[in-house]
Amino acid sequence: MTHLEYDEVRGPLVVQRVGGDLRIRGRAGSRLVAEGDGVQGKRADNNGASLALQSAGDLRLSVPQGLEVHVQQVGGDAKLTEIGGVVQVQSVGGDLVVRQAVAVTLRAVGGDLRLKGISGDVDVQTVGGDATVREVGGAVHIAAVGEDLYLHNISGDCVVEEVGDDLVLSLDFAPKKTYRFRAAGDILCRVGEDANVRFILPAEAELRLDMQAKVGEGTDGRQVVTLGAGKVEVHILGAEMLRLVGEAEDYMLNFGVQLEEEIEARLSWLEEKLNRQLEGLDAQLQEQAERWGAQAGRWAERILGARWDWSPREPKRKRRTPGPRRKRFTASERPLRHDGPPPPPKEPVTDNERQMILQMVSDGQITVEEAEQLLAALDE
């Protein structure tokens, strides 16, 4: 694991290539911290304000909030949260999550896409899986989504050129905005009771209304569904079915959004707590390694000293005790024996040493059998 730190990074930050997963989180201050597998960094301009990074495996970044971030290629998943700046992404092989950014420009995502809390515009070219785009203060343009798409609270223009399956719209259609949608499956749209919207859709599309609306035919043969004064035009360029529901029947949609927000908030809290606990982990591991290494050395000295002490000592004369005489061996029958002095008296295992061995078992550094062998060796 490589650990790099950079001061006074004012951007843009360019993530050139990540072989595994990418995780970027904004933070207060001007320091950038990078951790990952084989991380390499290079100041990209003369004054050193820009930075280019790449990693052979996973990469985790803690960056100053408001930094402009350019991601060129990620092999796995990518998650960018609390960035507070402009985000540009070229290619992500897996899933992509972006939360709290000024604007997002995205070229290709192989998996699912989730965008939330974007204060400016969103421009997406291709998403292979599902996509969720929520709480956008600017305009949204999406060229292609392979599966389902869910749009919620889009303040600006909203144009979706192609959705491979179903499209769910939960929008407050505003005057002087552009709305165009096309889906291969169904389109479900929530509309407020006081909406002044006119839906224009192909003649062959099925229409299902769960609210009061006026249905007619346009001059070009397309269907026209009018709610209120119909001041805002919504163009449905293609769909198997258009279903309009009111706010009262949108309970499950709202409930799903609230549930997702609660889950995201809880996961973000747990992730932040974990990050705080991981701060300084390398120093702690180094300290523990040195402590375990020193203790292991003392244990080795005790074990080797107790079993293989070859230092010369003054032999003690044994006193014969009364009893039957022991068998005498001939030269060929005499067993091999160590002629050195007897081993020193054993030193009992201390409670601290036992506790350290148990901690090693708990941490998975040694097995229970190895712990028993180590205790037995120390006892000897």
Three-state secondary structure readout of the chain: CEEEEECCCCCCEEEEEECCCEEEEEECCCCEEEEECCCEEEECCCCCCCEEEEECCCEEEEEECCCCEEEEEECCCEEEECCCCEEEEEEECCCEEEEEECEEEEEEECCCEEEEEECCCEEEEEECCCEEEEEECCCEEEEEECCCEEEEEECCCEEECCECCCEEEECCCCCCCCEEEECCCEEEEECCCCCCEEEEECCCCEEEECCCCEEEECCCCCEEEEECCCCEEEEEEECCEEEEECHHHCHHHHHHHHHHHHHHHHHHHHHHHHHHHHCCHHHHHHHHHHHHHHHHHHHHHHHHHHHCCCCCCCCCCCCCCCCCCCCCCCCCCCCCCCCCCCCCCCCCCCHHHHHHHHHHHHCCCCCHHHHHHHHHHHHC
Pair 104, 231 in one domain: yes
Pair 206, 71 in one domain: yes
pLDDT of residue 81: 93
Pair 108, 238 in one domain: yes
Pair 253, 376 in one domain: no
Please report whether residue 264 resides in a domain: no
Pair 220, 355 in one domain: no
Pair 118, 217 in one domain: yes
pLDDT at 228 over 60: yes
pLDDT of residue 131: 95
Pair 350, 252 in one domain: no
pLDDT of residue 8: 76
Domain count of the chain? 2
Please report whether residue 201 resides in a domain: yes
Give the domain extent around 119: 2-257
Please report whether residue 313 resides in a domain: no
Report, as an integer, the average pLDDT of 78-95.
95
Report, as an integer, the average pLDDT of 153-171.
95
Lowest mean pLDDT among 57-71, 191-205, 348-362: 348-362
pLDDT of residue 356: 78
Please report whether residue 296 resides in a domain: no
pLDDT of residue 152: 93
Please report whether residue 294 resides in a domain: no
Report, as an integer, the average pLDDT of 29-56.
81
Pair 233, 374 in one domain: no
Q: Which residue has the higher pLDDT, 335 or 158?
A: 158
Report, as an integer, the average pLDDT of 284-295.
56
* Domain stop point among 257, 285, 314: 257
pLDDT of residue 41: 82
Tell me the per-residue pLDDT of 298-310, one tens digit each, with 9 for 90 and over.
Answer: 665 555 555 444 4
Please report whether residue 95 resides in a domain: yes
pLDDT at 375 over 80: no
pTM of structure: 0.67
pLDDT at 338 over 60: no
* Domain stop point among 234, 257, 280: 257
* Domain stop point among 231, 257, 283: 257
pLDDT at 214 over 50: yes
